[in-house]
Amino acid sequence: MKHSDRHANYRILVAQNFLSNISLSGDHDDTNLCIFKKPGFQKISRPSPSTRDTSSQPVTFEKGFSEEPSISIQKPSATTRPDFHASQNLYSQSQLGYHKASAVTLGTQLSFPDTTSSLVLIEENDENVPYAQSTRTPGKQKSFLRKLVKIMSTDDMKANRLIRGRQSSIDGASIGMRQKDQSQESQMTEDAMRPGSPLSLAQFPFLKRYRTSSDRGERVYICLEWSNYPMSIFCYRQFNADEKEKEKKTQATPMRITLSRGIFQSSDRLRNTSGCSIDELRPFNFGDKEDHLIFGQLFRRSRRMTSPFFMLFERPKKLERRASHLQADSSDRFLLSSSQTSAGAIRAFEHVSNDDEEIEMDDLETMDGVAEKEYDPTAFDEVEMGRKTVVRLETFSGTTFHFLNNAKAKTAMNETFLERYPHIHLTLSKLRSLKREMWQLAKKEHIDEYTLAQAFCYFEQIVSKGLISKTNRKCVAGVSLLVSMKLNDYSKQVVRKYLEHAEDQLRVSRHDLLSYELPLCSALKFDLFPIESLVIPHYEKLIFDVT
């Protein structure tokens, strides 16, 4: 802990578990990628010469980094966790005998039990070390990345210039990287472009340790201290046959994008001309005497079933097939969410005029169904996981997530969404904005998060069934929250107030809104208390404020 050590020139690579308390997509406030932002934040003290033989001597961090006012530290305690120290033991050995050398930690130790992600940060001190200066220019950033790629891509570790020790005599297996004092440093910078340095061996343990200590799928961020921005985010994926398959798919993506763009345009045009999709959820007209809704209508025709009635209430467990819908040629003749199980007989709901009943039935039974997957509350969010480039190497592969500006990211996201869910006539960004509107409404009425999460769950189920259209989307969003409120003990007064606000905010009339209430419930097969696992993902997002 010598004071002079603090002024030594050093660069630190520190691995830090850090996103572990963020269960979601990582865009939470807590996710500050640069908690090790400032020079002097932490540095490993070298064991004193007298203790050079005590290989078990743990490395400790210098006190005093907390004096740095501008450091944002989410989990300061983590930096002093025993795990971390232990992980540096190996490293401390490598420091033996270097009085002036400041420490470089190759913080790839990710052994915190709750680790989901790790952060690697390049730490530079403010002294005008040539190398440190050079990295502050964008050009050098690039070269830094290039170096990194090289480090990661060459098994023989020829050209590591990121961090490099000088002593070839040091056993490669026992050292990570180390750093010289300032004079050595400048020399090193000159040498930086010289490949095949004798110390390239030293890179091997770094990668080896990184590979063995990081869990699969962990994200690693490399940040520059002066800019706060991650220079590179990568994660280590096991390279195996499954991965290969995925790779193939990823590689095939560009082609499919162009294809999907075509679909997008054409369906857009279709939407514009037809006004609404055929599958959409439609309202009931309460005044119409002809309106006649019978549950379990189809069941009567099924000979397999003994009683016609019980069918509605049997939940279709097996693969559900969604019957394609008839071209509605008259307004009072249409179907809503007709579904059939593989057993062939589950109709959730039907809305037909009495005269046309027979024809509808017959038509339906001859129709081909479209496979409908069970609702997955996280599916829509996976779409935005975004584009990635996978660099595949012999023993492991790295993934880079592309940064796009907002508009492009939105387009890309919507394209991916459309590609994945061609039957949904709604862009993902619109879906999100509708959810935001619901959230605003909920805030106004002080509706609790679970009720709102349940409403999201209804809404997304309708969306994923492909029942949403331009004409009904606002009503469906509004009515989802209404139904959820009714089932969660909200008093009549609150419900009434909500309806008034919903009319204003969504700019739809109350009559329109309410006319979707029964269609919504029946499209959901009246499963209005969805099991918790379907609601909790939404709920957690609301609680953590990241929707």
Partner 1 sequence: MQKYDKLDKIGEGTYGMVFKARNKETGEIVALKRVRLDDDDEGVPSSALREICLLRELKHPNVVRLFDVVHSEGKLTLVFEFCEQDLKKFFDSMNLQPIEPSLVRSLMQQLLKGLYYCHSRHVLHRDLKPQNLLLDSSMQLKLADFGLARAFGVPVRCYSAEVVTLWYRPPDVLFGAKLYNCSIDMWSAGCIFAEISNVGRPLFPGSDVDDQLKRIFKQLGTPNEDNWPAVSTLPDYKPFPTMHPSISWSQIVPNLSSLGRDLLQKLLVCNPAGRMDSESALKHPYFSAIEN
Contact positions vs partner 1 (CB under 8 A): 284, 286-287, 289, 291-296, 309-310, 312-313, 354, 448-451, 482-483, 486-489, 491-492, 495-496, 499, 510-511, 514-515, 517-518, 521, 525-529, 532, 535, 539
Q: Which of 81, 486 has the CB closer to partner 1?
A: 486
Q: Which is nearer to partner 1, 176 or 478 (CB)?
A: 478
* Smallest separation (angstroms) from partner 1 to the CB of 514: 4
Rounded to a whole number of angstroms, the minimum distance from the CB of residue 22 to partner 1 is: 20
Residue with Cβ nearer partner 1 (263 or 514) = 514
Minimum gap (Å) between residue 376 Cβ and partner 1: 19
320 contacts 338 by C-beta, under 8 angstroms: no
24 versus 518: smaller Cβ distance to partner 1? 518
Q: Record the tokens describing residue 406, joined without a space.
A: 């907002």
Alpha carbons 165 and 45: distance in angstroms, whole number: 17
Please return the burial class of 49, using the count of CB atoms within 10 Å of its CB with bins 0-12, 13-18 and 19+: exposed
Non-local (6+) Cβ contacts of 511 within 8 A are none
What sign has the CA pseudo-torsion 140, 146, 151, 154? negative
Residues 42/12, Cβ–Cβ less than 8 Å: yes
What order do you get walking across the sheet with 396-401 strand by strand? Answer: 11-17, 118-124, 219-224, 230-238, 396-401, 388-392
Measured distance CA(306)–CA(83) in Å, rounded: 64
If the CB atoms of residues 325 and 525 are measured against partner 1, the closer one turns out to be 525
Closer residue to partner 1, CB minimum distance, 428 or 479: 479
- Whole-angstrom distance, CA of residue 183 vs CA of residue 189: 10
Query: For residues 175 and 484, what is the distance between their CA atoms, to the nearest angstrom?
Result: 59
Nearer to partner 1 (CB atom), residue 284 or residue 401: 284
Least distance in angstroms from the C-beta of 206 to partner 1: 45
| Closest approach of partner 1 to the CB of residue 531, in Å | 9
Residue with tokens 């796009």: 404
- C-beta of 62 vs 512, nearer to partner 1: 512
User: Closest separation between CB of residue 485 and partner 1, Å?
Assistant: 8
* Exposure string for 72-97, b = 16+ CB within 10 A, e = fewer: ebbeeebbeeeebbebbebbbbbbbe
Under a CB-based contact definition with an 8 Å cutoff, are residues 15 and 122 in contact? no
- Read off the amino acid at residue 446: H
How many residues would you count in the chain?
547
Q: Which of 125/338 has CB closer to partner 1?
A: 338
Of 235 and 534, nearer to partner 1 (C-beta) is 534
Q: How far is the CB of 501 from partner 1 (least distance, A)?
A: 13
Rounded to the nearest whole angstrom, what is the least distance from the CB of residue 364 to partner 1 in the complex?
19
- Least distance (Å) between residue 161 CB and partner 1: 53
Q: Is 265 helix (H, G, I), strand (E, B) or coil?
A: helix
Q: Which is nearer to partner 1, 278 or 294 (CB)?
A: 294
| Cα–Cα distance, 256 to 45 (Å, whole number) | 54
Q: How far is the CB of 474 from partner 1 (least distance, A)?
A: 16
Residue 163, Cβ density class (10 Å: 0-12 exposed, 13-18 middle, ≥19 buried): buried
Closest CA to 312 of 490, 521, 456, 463: 521
Shortest distance in whole angstroms from residue 483 CB to partner 1: 7
Tell me the Cα Rg of the chain: 30
- 3-state secondary structure string across 299-353: HHHCCCCCCCHHHCCCCCCCCEEEECCCCCCCCCCCCCCCEEECCCCCCCCCECC
What is the C-alpha to C-alpha distance for residues 2 and 14, in angstroms, rounded to an integer?
A: 21
Least separation in angstroms between residue 487's CB and partner 1 is 6
Query: How many beta carbons lie within 10 A of that of residue 248, not counting itself?
Result: 9
**Closest approach of partner 1 to the CB of residue 285, in Å:** 9
Q: Which is nearer to partner 1, 101 or 534 (CB)?
A: 534
Q: Which of 17, 5, 106 is nearest to 47 (CA)?
A: 5
Identify which of residues 78 and 508 has a Cβ nearer to partner 1 in the complex: 508
